[in-house]
Structure 1
Amino acid sequence: MSSNFQLLNDSSDEDDRSRTTETGTIITNHNGVGGGNGGEQDIELDRPLLTSPTIADIDGVGAHPDESALILEDIQFRDDTNLQQEQKQTQQQQQQGGKKKVPLWCYVILVAALLAMSSSGPALKKMDVPPLRKASWRLQVTSIMLLIGFLVDLHTLYPLFEIHLAKSFVGVLPAGLVSSLPISWQTVLINVRQTKFASIDERRTEQSECRARFLSWKTWVILTGTGCVLAGHFGMWISSLNKTSLSHSLLFVTSNPIMIVIVMVVMRKPISKGEIFGCLIGFIGLVITMFDSLFLTSGPVNGIRPTVYGDFLALMAAVCIVFYLFAGSNLRTWMSLYLYAFPVTFIASLVLTFSSLIFETMPVAKEGQNFGVFGWASPAFVWLALYVAFFPGIVGHTGVNAIIKYVEPVVISVTLLLEPPIGTVMGYFVGEGEIPGIFTYIGGPIVVAGCGMVTVASYFRNKREQAATQTADVSNVSLDVDVDDASVSSSIASSNEIMMDAIPNQYSNLSSDQVPSVVVEVDDSK
């Protein structure tokens, strides 16, 4: 933003006298100093002027009343009250704009993701493979599916070829196919085709900071630690499927909202009363559910009888996923999805593969079976391995990531709490589940209700914190305005004194109505 100080003599024509910018004009009178057509000097101001001159200030220059009115019409400075009102209106417009109707396809994907993730437990129980080897296969296949996205993101981070994937894809589409698409889709494709993308050097320069952070040793320490935690989650959860009932395994492993509250209390993080209350309710439900593991003596109709050890493994898997979320939260603020997901998943698969080689003994392989490191590709296991990697992994987790832009996170989180009962029903119908005991029927709904309370309370706590942050920002802006008004006025006074010292003395004999005026033109558009 620049300000032009001009010397206007009373004898200049009316057009020159009323020459101001659209954003505002300040005129000050300097008695006893002559002036003429004078020079012009550009003075940089730190901030826009937010103070308005009075009628007396304008009349003091000897301007005509009509000219004063004309100048007043050009003045559009905002005071503190107007600034706050405009900011409140902007916030209201943003809130109203954010309340868009959720597309129907988002709910379709949410339901598909829920069913896909719920089927993970029964599908894994179908694979008669030692648990750590099974977990390593699960993450190996998922890593292969994530590899394509990782290479695309890596090319974006450091482009090796002068090629733009989106533009190249649109360029090879047949004209007949494009013409058959809806008009809105055709417009998007045309815009992509006509867009002028940055050169390879410009793209490398733009990504230099992100690339440096990605290659730093601190980032890879966090990625390695996160991969180890993810390996612990899958290793303990899949092991729990062989040690306790399917319903107990799913209930305990999905209790991570309760575990998050416990970890936040230990770390002394801010937390609401609603989250604490929901945590207590969910913990009571977990204790009630565990009574089946303690007191159930008769065997299940099918599946495995619940045990305390198996329940504990599933609970520790929930704790691991809490630390997984905490560890990766700072990386995902600047790192793309596949650039983060592939290294973490691949590291976890390596940890589980080596753990399986060290701690597990493979059974004798039957016809069509292979229990080797890549045994998932054998005919006996390939379809189940592809299923648990694609549907629970890609359709489930990636589907949730796709709709989180349109659906409130609290809606997604509460919906996914239905995974334990749906997974239990699925397992029963495929012969891998069991009829839960009486305490599971009592404690299970309490666990789900407690997790729901924690999720909803956490959502509203975050909303309150965001609102408080916005209010603090508005207050800081108002305080800055008050301080800057004084500093700008002081800067103008100092600038005027400097300019008056530079004016020749031959105008000192002029009368007061012929004294030149200093006009400050402020252009806020820059």
Structure 2
Amino acid sequence: MERRVCSVSSAGVAFKYIAEVPALTLAAWRLQLTSGILVAAAAVQWRGMPAADKARTFKDWRYSLFSGVTLALHFATWVWSLQHTSLAHAVLLVSTTPVILVAYSLIMRQPISGGEVAGAVLAVAGCAVLASGAVSAKETGVTLLGDLAAFAAAVAVVAHWQAGKHLRTYHGLLDHNGWAAEARSMVGGNCHGMFGWTACQRYAAVVVYLGAVPGVVGHQGFNTVLRYMSPLMVSLAVQFEPVIASFLGWATGVSPAPGLYTYIGGTIVMAATIGATVAAGLRQQKEERLVKSKSMRIAVDEEGVFEAGVDGLGAGDAAAAAAAAAAAAAAQAGARAPVGRLATNKAAMTSRS
């Protein structure tokens, strides 16, 4: 986990190293190598997708396009912010996604806890402290426009997540990320040539590093870790990115040491995002426990066809639960249903749930 956090945290330093490249072009270069790797893997997953899901993919082309464009905007605005404000401010503000998700939940009237709202309010206060440091010009390399661009990058990536949430209901992880990466690399690459970085050895080294280490080891590594760790733990680990990135920027000389406003505002923002993340994780765990504790009603009709009604569960979960309960009942009774009858019952459960 620590390697993945450090990999992602080093991206800002690499971007600062070639800050003379236009932001949109640099964002496209960073994504080309990553997209090439992911698209190749996505093509393999695409071949194994059911025909119905492939047809749905073409119908949902707007979601795929929106996902790619918003992620292109995320990288473009974040790279631009790195060129117009300090590394510490850029990384702090782009990491406020948990707070933006709270605002989104409030707007959409989705379930939310008091702890998440408190974290959002605290984050606003921290951002105000950071902005005051930019306005007063008492900190080197900090501008209000750069800070706003970093915050816009956080908003853009939340929009990308919302589109991805819809697509991931039937897409594989690499499938969705691969096509989105290809879309966003093409969006940015048209400004100054698709492969302009190959003409300069210095640029090529940085771009290869950005695509392979922060892109694959970092971002895609987090997605892999989610199979073995809770989303809450992964989200908390990511919140240490501003600290590591600020230290790396200062140690490599690409960014000055943070000033007083950054220390105060950054501490408040980090505390707020961690608090909102913990509150969201606890709320989700509570909701999952409530779903699992819902009573199950199983009835057997005269023909032996099982009917399941599970409050709060989807059709697939209801069918699986009914099948498990039916098997247990049959075992207790000492009866063994014919294979054909079980298949008929399973099909009936699927159609009725």
User: Which TM-score applies when normalising by structure 1?
Assistant: 0.56
Which residue is equivalent to 1:342? 178
Which residue of 56, 62, 68 corresponds with 1:221?
62
Which residue is equivalent to 1:147? 39
Which residue of 249, 259, 265 corresponds with 1:443?
265
Which residue of 212, 237, 243 corresponds with 1:390?
212
- Counterpart residue type for residue 439 of structure 1: Y
Which residue is equivalent to 2:195? 374
- Counterpart residue type for residue 434 of structure 1: P
- Counterpart residue type for residue 16 of structure 2: K
Which residue of 405, 409, 412 corresponds with 2:234?
412
Work out the CA distance in 1 between the residues paired with 2:187 and 2:54: 26
Which residue is equivalent to 1:523? 335
Which residue is equivalent to 1:309? 145
Which residue is equivalent to 1:265? 106
1:157-188 residue CA offsets vs partner (Å, 9 max, x unmatched): 3xxxxxxxxxxxxxxxxxxxxxxxxxxxxxxx
- Kindly tell me: are residues 524 and 275 of structure 1, through their superposed partners in 2, closer, same or farther at Cα, counting changes over 3 Å? farther
Work out the CA distance in 2 between the residues paired with 1:425 and 1:522: 67
Which residue is equivalent to 2:95? 254
**Count of residues in correspondence between the two structures:** 308
1:227-250 residue CA offsets vs partner (Å, 9 max, x unmatched): 111111011100001111111000
1:295 aligns with 2:131: no
Work out the CA distance in 2 between the residues paired with 1:428 and 1:373: 32
Which residue is equivalent to 1:209? 52
Aligned with 1:333: secondary structure?
A: coil
Work out the CA distance in 2 between the residues paired with 1:227 and 1:339: 13
Conserved? CA contact 1:425–1:433, under 8 Å: no
Work out the CA distance in 2 between the residues paired with 1:152 and 1:348: 20
Aligned with 1:330: secondary structure?
A: helix
Conserved? CA contact 1:139–1:349, under 8 Å: yes
1:267-314 residue CA offsets vs partner (Å, 9 max, x unmatched): 11111111111111122111112221011346x3xxxx1111100000
1:119-157 residue CA offsets vs partner (Å, 9 max, x unmatched): 000101111311111111111221112232123223323
- Kindly tell me: are residues 524 and 462 of structure 1, through their superposed partners in 2, closer, same or farther at Cα, counting changes over 3 Å? farther
Aligned with 1:277: secondary structure?
A: helix
Conserved? CA contact 2:39–2:175, under 8 Å: no
- Counterpart residue type for residue 133 of structure 1: T
Work out the CA distance in 1 between the residues paired with 2:11 and 2:104: 27
Give the superposition deviation at 1:412.
1.0
- Counterpart residue type for residue 334 of structure 1: Y
Conserved? CA contact 2:186–2:194, under 8 Å: no
Which residue is equivalent to 1:322? 158
Give the superposition deviation at 1:375.
1.3
Work out the CA distance in 2 between the residues paired with 1:144 and 1:376: 15
Aligned with 2:171: secondary structure?
A: coil
- Counterpart residue type for residue 33 of structure 2: V
Give the superposition deviation at 1:432.
0.8
Which residue is equivalent to 1:5? none
1:351 aligns with 2:351: no
Conserved? CA contact 1:296–1:437, under 8 Å: no
Work out the CA distance in 2 between the residues paired with 1:244 and 1:153: 40
Work out the CA distance in 2 between the residues paired with 1:401 and 1:337: 8
Give the superposition deviation at 1:522.
8.6
Which residue is equivalent to 1:201? none
Higher RCO by CA contacts (8 Å cutoff, separation 6 or greater):
1
Which residue is equivalent to 1:242? 83
Aligned with 1:269: secondary structure?
A: coil
Work out the CA distance in 2 between the residues paired with 1:439 and 1:310: 15
Instruction: Determine which structure has more spread, i.e. the larger CA radius of gyration.
Output: 1
Aligned with 1:381: secondary structure?
A: helix
Which residue of 221, 225, 244 corresponds with 1:403?
225
1:50-103 residue CA offsets vs partner (Å, 9 max, x unmatched): xxxxxxxxxxxxxxxxxxxxxxxxxxxxxxxxxxxxxxxxxxxxxxxxxxxxxx
Give the superposition deviation at 1:210.
2.3
Give the superposition deviation at 1:333.
2.2
1:133 aligns with 2:21: no
1:413-441 residue CA offsets vs partner (Å, 9 max, x unmatched): 10110101110110111111111111111
Aligned with 2:48: secondary structure?
A: helix
Q: Where is the helix percentage greater, Structure 1 or Structure 2?
A: 2
Which residue is equivalent to 1:280? 121
User: Which TM-score applies when normalising by structure 2?
Assistant: 0.83
Conserved? CA contact 2:72–2:184, under 8 Å: yes
Which residue of 419, 423, 430 corresponds with 2:252?
430
Which residue is equivalent to 1:457? 279
Conserved? CA contact 1:247–1:420, under 8 Å: yes
Work out the CA distance in 1 between the residues paired with 2:142 and 2:255: 11
Conserved? CA contact 1:121–1:423, under 8 Å: yes
Aligned with 1:242: secondary structure?
A: helix
Q: Map of 1:3-82 to 2, 5 A cutoff? A: none
Work out the CA distance in 1 between the residues paired with 2:225 and 2:178: 20
Report the aligned-residue RMSD.
2.0
Work out the CA distance in 1 between the residues paired with 2:223 and 2:124: 28
Work out the CA distance in 1 between the residues paired with 2:258 and 2:196: 33
Give the superposition deviation at 1:463.
1.2
